[in-house]
Amino acid sequence: MPNSGYTYVCPFDELEDGVPRRFEVDGVPFALVHAEEEVFAIRDVCSHSAVALSEGEVDGCTIECWLHASRFDLRTGKPLDPPVRIAVPVYPVRIEDAAVYVRLVPESGR
């Protein structure tokens, strides 16, 4: 994917359904989550307590912060429960030739 802004992350078959996996590219920590027949990329830092979201539980299109049980929407990064009020960035994902690529620029409008 030259000049596309997407970075190769891993083979698709290394992602387990419903299990977040942490990665870091160019100093940006993010979690990849295979859920609901899609792959999502979300910044791997809770906006409330700076802990890794990849250590939380996935339920459908949400990921829960293990520290305070706040959930984030994997599609938008928006918090769904208190105490979190600030969204976390989500990143565009492409699957090509059985490989996962992420563009580490947050999706606009999210």
pLDDT of residue 4: 86
19: tokens are 């299990």
74: tokens are 């994997």
Q: What is the pLDDT of residues 52-72, one digit of tens each?
A: 999 999 999 999 999 999 999
Write the DSSP string, 43-70: ESS-TTT---GGGS-EETTEEE-TTT--
Q: Residues 6 or more apart from 50 whose CB is under 8 A from it?
A: none
61: tokens are 């299109």
- Please list the pLDDT of the chain residue by residue as tens digits (110 residues): 555 899 999 999 999 999 999 999 999 999 999 999 999 999 999 999 989 999 999 999 999 999 999 999 999 999 999 999 999 999 999 999 999 999 998 765 44
Measure CA 29 to chain center.
9
pTM: 0.92
67: tokens are 């520290």
pLDDT of residue 44: 98
CA dihedral (13, 19, 20, 24) positive or negative:
negative
